[in-house]
Structure 1
Amino acid sequence: MPEPKRAAIVVGVGAERGLGAALARRFAREGLHVVVAGRTQTRLDQVAASIRAGGGSAEGIAADTTREADVVALFDRAFTGDAVPELVVFNAGNNVRAPIRELEAEVFEAAWRVGTLGGFLVGREAARRLVSLGRGSILFTGASASLRGRAGFAGFAAAKAGLRAVSQSMARELGPLGIHVAHVVIDGGIAGERLESRAPQRVAEAGEDGLLDIDAIAEAYWQLHRQHRSAWTQELDLRPFKESF
């Protein structure tokens, strides 16, 4: 009987020039079958098709990570057939800015549902399946807001700080069971489609190497997955050399 294919799941994939897609391409280069997940099937299909055109293996599965049934179905599908995931990345988030006096409760809750609840659901379903294998990595995408709350970002900061706490608890629980859990703090702007379309002036002001290169970020995630278990990283922060901190 042939050995099952190695696979990865990347949750939070949108534009082709976004971090989620860059992660999926990097993992595919290593021969992993990549399941790309997000809310928009057409975007997922584009990313998967691009990976296949480059010689990799990928498929897109639409899922809303704030819905438990969607997340369970995603993992049930990903862990069937001839591919066994060994790497799961939670990359979803919604950066909402609003003054605290104008921040509506439903907006605050929506940020928490995407950034924290979604991370919990993905992390839990990954853990339930990887523990039986005794190996694998679960990686979470954080932000500067994971560590400190800025004016106008109460909802986003609360969501990201919550996700960081989930990752820490999971690392302590799952590490002894052979599962590497890590949280990546993205401390700076990402040179991708979202920032270029929403804040072109910021991109221009950042200048050369003033933003995080998406492929460089993806390389860091892959190296986390490859770490020997005698020296695992639980939290890694990434920023451009120009970024103050």
Structure 2
Amino acid sequence: MAIALIVGVGDGLSASLARKLNGAGYKPVLAARDADKLDALARETGAATVSADASTRKGVDAIFGLVDRLGDKLAVAVYNPSFRVRGPFVEIDPDKVQTALQVTAYGAFLVAQQAARRMLPEGKGTILFTGASAGVKGYPQSASFAMGKFALRGLAQSMARELHPKGIHVGHVVIDGAIRNPGRTEPADKPDSMLDPDAIAETYMQLIGQDRSAWAWEIELRPWVENF
């Protein structure tokens, strides 16, 4: 079974994507800071799990150590983690901003580099990044998130231009809106105002399955009632 790696797994989008990838015949590998919380999802999807901090080289080495031990080819890698600190620009804690950049952008670089190294000899594979509207426009009191997501988008665009001609599909998905997760749903007066994680995951699957004659490097997703 071809391996599909998901980094930064929770009970929303990543869980939906793990189920869809398993249903499509992939072997999911799920990485999170605390993999114990993934036990039920792992049983459901037949996934292998690893506890790791993907913003560090040591953590990424642990993730790909597991990938390599499984013995199958890595076909898909998805990077979801992000971190933000809110507040007036002049008051933001610089250490927290550094953490935001490491989690959102540097970790994405580390994971994508290792994934690409394994895909290039095969001449195929898909690497997807979960972005946000903050990577397209910076919002007030959200400088750290904008910095991280702008960097993520730039990474994806650069990789796409370099790796598409080598057979590696790189995609950046802009999530413009809040995602509906267990325990978090729309207010009664704002139906359909959040994105359904299963619907987002379906779009990821469509990207993974795209014919290389018509690859998308970026796609924006938002609820139909969202202003943009």
Distance in 2 separating the partners of 1:22 and 1:168: 25
CA shift for structure 1 position 85: 1.9
Higher mean C-alpha displacement, 203-212 vs 70-79? 203-212
Q: Which residue of 1 aligns with 2:26?
A: 32
After superposing the two structures, state which structure 1 stretch, 67-76 or 106-115, moved more.
67-76
CA apart distance, 1:74: 1.1
Runs of at least 4 residues off by over 3 Å: none
The 2-side partners of 1:94 and 1:193 are apart by 20
Identity value in percent: 43
Does the 8 Å CA contact 1:131/1:177 hold for their aligned counterparts? Answer: yes
1:201-241: CA deviations, max 9, x gaps?
xx205633221000000000000000000100000000000
Q: Residue in 1 aligned with 2:81? A: 92
Contact in 1 for aligned 2:74/2:118 (Cα 8 Å): no
CA distance in 1, matches of 2:164, 2:57: 24
Q: Please, which runs of 5 or more residues in structure 1 have no aligned partner?
A: 52-56
Which residue in 2 is equivalent to 1:54? Answer: none
Q: TM-score, normalised by structure 2?
A: 0.96
* Residue in 1 that maps onto 2:215: 232
Answer whether contact 2:74 2:115 (CA < 8 A) is retained: no
Pairing 1:189-204 to 2, within 5 Å after superposition: 189-193=178-182, 196=184, 203-204=186-187
SS at match of 1:236: strand
Deviates more, 1:116-125 or 1:88-97: 88-97
Count of residues in Structure 1 that have an aligned counterpart in Structure 2: 228
Q: Does 1:135 align with 2:151?
A: no
* Matched ranges for 1:21-170 at <5 A: 21-51=15-45, 57-170=46-159
Give CA-to-partner distance per residue, 1:78-109, whole Å, 9 cap, x none. 13334222010001112332211210100111
Structure 2 residue identity aligned to 1:6: A
1:192–1:214 CA contact under 8 A, matched in 2: yes
- 1:18-38: per-residue Cα shift (whole Å, max 9, x none)? 111111111111111100101
1:9 aligned to 2:5?
yes
Deviation larger for 134-143 or 67-76: 67-76
Superposition CA RMSD, Å = 1.4
Q: Name 1:221's counterpart in structure 2.
A: 204
CA contact (8 A) 2:54 2:107 kept: yes
C-alpha distance in 2 between matches for 1:235 and 1:168: 8
Distance across 2 between alignment mates of 1:166 and 1:238:
19
Q: What secondary structure does 1:76 align onto? A: helix
- The answer on 1:212 being equivalent to 2:195 is yes
